[in-house]
Chains A and B, each alone.
Chain A
Amino acid sequence: MNTLRSTAEPTSGRAPDVSPQSPWRLFWQVLRRDRLAMGGLAVLAVLAVLALGGKTLTEWAVVFDPAAVRLIDKFRSPLAEASPLLSEADRPPGGIYLLGTDELGRDVFARMLQGAFVSLSIGFVAVGISMAVGIVLGGLAGYYGEVRLGFITLDTLIMRFTEAMLCFPTLFLILVVVVLLPPSIYNIMIVIGLTRWMGTARFVRAEFLSLREQDFVVAARALGLPAWRIMFVHMVPNAMAPVLVTATIGVASAILTESALSFLGFGVQPPFATWGNILADGRAYIFDAPWLFFIPGLAIFVVVLAFNLLGEGMREALNPKLRTRR
């Protein structure tokens, strides 16, 4: 989990309440003892390698071509050999379909590789968007809550808006927006991101409300530091730990949401393969080509589980009450 560590380390350096034993080190020590979480982390490390490697091998240096249509070789089972009739350019590497082929004779392994990167980036970007929106709105509401805009306070405005957003059934919102925007992969990310920031916003607001009264913030304000500095340099890192947990689990559920959207026919469109749309397309062939259904299904299951277990481990490790009793 390189991404997590790289964000974690610099913040710990700047965090104002650096105790002799850095809380992040403590966190790591506890987390390391959690075998389920470490399992999840290992799976994700492998996945990260696969996704990056997949991106390289399917797009930059095309070894596995996920878009090559070989109608002669449709529905080959995993490990089947490619038909000798294929031209040299169309043959899969080694002449073997590792994970079989789909209804158009496309190499499932290549598509899964490509999908790994796409699915992961959907998860990360969607969560990134929802975290960003949530932190900004929650932070504004928490920090500038008392500023009056006409007849209502900023806090009321933002929180009422948040509540209004919560009033829409999520699926309704997603479907309407998916219909509104052309179905590109970026829009799916945006849609998933924009429909799940409300929890983060409420949560960050609550966190800010309590942080605002704490000594280090009061001191910073007394020093005359600009507000954005106080917010982003001093307050956000302190509210960060639980946000990271939410984000980790959020990635998992964003991947699931994408597959559910694909099931309803609103997922990411070709030429992008995601695990969600491979699974959703594959279900039609369950009796004829079960691997088209089981491979992406299991892949999603394993990865989402890994994110969830890691998130759970982080939550436990961050909870001081639980930690001390260990």
Chain B
Amino acid sequence: MAGFLVRNFLQRLVLLVIVSVMAHALVHLAPGEPNEVDPSNPRMKAEDVAKLRAAFHLDEPLYLQYAYWVRDLFTGELKSFKDSQPVLPKIWERFLNSLPLFIGATLIVWTLSFPTGIHAAVRRGSYYDRGSTFVAYALISIPGFFLSYLVILWVVDTFGVPVIGMRTFGMEDAPLLHRGMDYLWHLTVPSLMSAVAGIAILSRYVRSQMLEVVGQDYVRTARAKGLDEDTVVYRHALRNALLPFVTMFGLMLPELIGGSVIFEQIFAWPGIGRLSYDAILARDYPVVLTVNLIAAVLTLAGTLISDILYAVVDPRIRLT
């Protein structure tokens, strides 16, 4: 086990370096300049542009730029081109904004998918099953921003309450409870929207896992023993069907930082997705590369965790 961990850890570390080098090369090879060195700004002369380029190390060879980036990242000196703010606190601030959205959406996805998926599997072929199949696929098939607009317009027109942003304006002096609930409401709609596709996919997955398991011998045995259907399904079948889902917890990790640009854009939510989208557009290399690195770390950590979890819950698998 320890050997497995060490070896895997080292392998992933190497992979991480490769990924960061690839990302660095990709970003710097892309045409365009950081917005700050914008020669089309009539206020800037060639000397000013040259000064900025030098300050951003843009004229050094690529490997040196990479070295600067790594050095600054580890000394905490890495600053955004855009506003000279240190990159890590900047990302952390946005991460804290995205986190509730992520937790909200995940909770909705995971709690809602299981009952609907199990139910569909148990009643395979029924109207409920086919109906839910259809609804699930309908939900995955709507472009996310199309649905969001429809919902926003509907809520605003019908209920007359704000849904955009993180809070309602003019509630600065309201009691904490009011403000908390207001925040919760502003969280609800975007998390529902970003959960929609997830619910559909996960509930389909739950359903197919349940169907796999329901066909197994031990479930048939349990039935033959005369146990009632609920006990068979929820005690015997569900427990085994759950196995692969445990590993999915690890795989969810990278979504923490992925954020959804589209939903954050529509709902004016100042999350990490928008930060990186704006950074890509503005060629704010330090931010782009750092977000990407964190995402890669989370992905690799996620797969590692999921491997370990799998071994923990499934005794047939041994890590060597």
Contact status A179-B149, CB under 8 Å:
no
Contact status A164-B18, CB under 8 Å:
yes
Say yes or no: A168-B144 contact (C-beta < 8 A), given A180-B29, A180-B31: no
Within 8 Å by CB of B276, from A172, A276, A297, A300, lies A172
* B-contact 0/1 string along A8-48, CB 8 Å cutoff: 00000000000000000000000000011000000000000
Residues from chain A with Cβ under 8 Å of B295 in the complex: 167-169, 172
B-contacting residues, A300-326, CB 8 Å: 300-301, 304-305, 308-309, 312, 321-322, 325
State A287–B149 Cα separation when bound (angstroms).
Answer: 12
Which residue of B is nearest A297, CB measured?
Answer: B146
Does A256 sit at the interface, judged by CB under 8 A?
A: yes
Residues from chain A with Cβ under 8 Å of B130 in the complex: 35-36
Chain B interface size band reads 35 or more
Say yes or no: A279-B146 contact (C-beta < 8 A), given A167-B19, A176-B30, A312-B133: yes
* A-contact 0/1 string along B229-260, CB 8 Å cutoff: 00000000000000000000000001001100
Does B110 sit at the interface, judged by CB under 8 A?
A: no
Say yes or no: A252-B141 contact (C-beta < 8 A), given A160-B15, A279-B146, A309-B134: yes
Within 8 Å by CB of A308, from B23, B140, B277, B291, lies B140
Name the residue among A167, A286, A297 with the largest chain B CB count within 10 angstroms: A167
Contact status B254-A321, CB under 8 Å:
no
A-contacting residues, B205-243, CB 8 Å: 211-212, 215
Contact status A308-B137, CB under 8 Å:
yes
Which residue of A is nearest B211, CB measured?
Answer: A322
State A305–B22 Cα separation when bound (angstroms).
Answer: 36
A-contacting residues, B15-48, CB 8 Å: 15-16, 18-19, 22-23, 26-27, 29-32
Total A-B residue pairs with C-beta atoms closer than 8 Å?
Answer: 116
Residues from chain B with Cβ under 8 Å of A244 in the complex: none
Contact status B19-A168, CB under 8 Å:
yes
Residues from chain A with Cβ under 8 Å of B23 in the complex: 168
User: What's the least CB distance linking B292 to chain A, in Å?
Assistant: 6
Contact status B215-A301, CB under 8 Å:
no
Residues from chain B with Cβ under 8 Å of A263 in the complex: 143, 145, 262
Which residue of A is nearest B303, CB measured?
Answer: A163
Name the residue among A169, A260, A279, A308 with the largest chain B CB count within 10 angstroms: A169
* B-contact 0/1 string along A160-197, CB 8 Å cutoff: 10011011110110011101100000000000000000
State A283–B288 Cα separation when bound (angstroms).
Answer: 29
Does A58 sit at the interface, judged by CB under 8 A?
A: no
Residues from chain A with Cβ under 8 Å of B262 in the complex: 260, 263-264
A-contacting residues, B115-143, CB 8 Å: 130, 133-134, 137-138, 140-143
Contact status B143-A169, CB under 8 Å:
no
**Is chain A's binding surface mostly helix, strand, loop or mixed?**
helix
Which residue of B is nearest A39, CB measured?
Answer: B134
Within 8 Å by CB of B143, from A164, A259, A264, lies A259
Within 8 Å by CB of B137, from A164, A169, A175, A312, lies A312
Within 8 Å by CB of B15, from A164, A172, A256, A286, lies A164
State A164–B16 Cα separation when bound (angstroms).
Answer: 8
Does B280 sit at the interface, judged by CB under 8 A?
A: yes
Within 8 Å by CB of B141, from A35, A172, A293, A308, lies A308
Contact status A171-B137, CB under 8 Å:
no
Residues from chain A with Cβ under 8 Å of B300 in the complex: 163, 167
User: What's the least CB distance linking A286 to chain B, in Å?
Assistant: 7
State A304–B146 Cα separation when bound (angstroms).
Answer: 14
User: What's the least CB distance linking B9 to chain A, in Å?
Assistant: 14
Contact status B144-A260, CB under 8 Å:
yes
Within 8 Å by CB of B277, from A163, A252, A264, A322, lies A264
State A218–B277 Cα separation when bound (angstroms).
Answer: 51
User: What's the least CB distance linking B181 to chain A, in Å?
Assistant: 30
State A305–B140 Cα separation when bound (angstroms).
Answer: 8
Name the residue among B143, B153, B276 with the largest chain A CB count within 10 angstroms: B143
User: What's the least CB distance linking B178 to chain A, in Å?
Assistant: 32
State A309–B258 Cα separation when bound (angstroms).
Answer: 28
A-B pairs, 4 with minimum CB distance: A167-B296, A305-B141, A304-B141, A297-B146
- In addition to A286-B153, A304-B141, 17 A-B residue pairs with Cβ atoms within 8 Å of each other are A163-B15, A167-B16, A168-B19, A171-B261, A171-B277, A172-B295, A180-B29, A180-B30, A252-B141, A256-B143, A297-B143, A300-B141, A301-B138, A301-B146, A305-B138, A305-B141, A322-B211
- Measuring CB to CB, which residues of chain B are less than 8 angstroms from any residue of chain A? 11, 15-16, 18-19, 22-23, 26-27, 29-32, 130, 133-134, 137-138, 140-146, 149, 153, 204, 211-212, 215, 254, 257-258, 261-262, 265, 273, 276-277, 280, 288, 291-292, 295-296, 299-300, 303
| 19 CB-based A-B contacts, threshold 8 Å | A36-B130, A160-B15, A167-B19, A171-B258, A172-B288, A259-B145, A260-B262, A264-B277, A276-B143, A279-B143, A297-B143, A301-B141, A304-B141, A304-B142, A305-B141, A308-B140, A321-B212, A321-B215, A325-B215
- Measuring CB to CB, which residues of chain A are less than 8 angstroms from any residue of chain B? 35-36, 160, 163-164, 166-169, 171-172, 175-177, 179-180, 252, 256, 259-260, 263-264, 276, 279, 283, 286, 293, 297, 300-301, 304-305, 308-309, 312, 321-322, 325
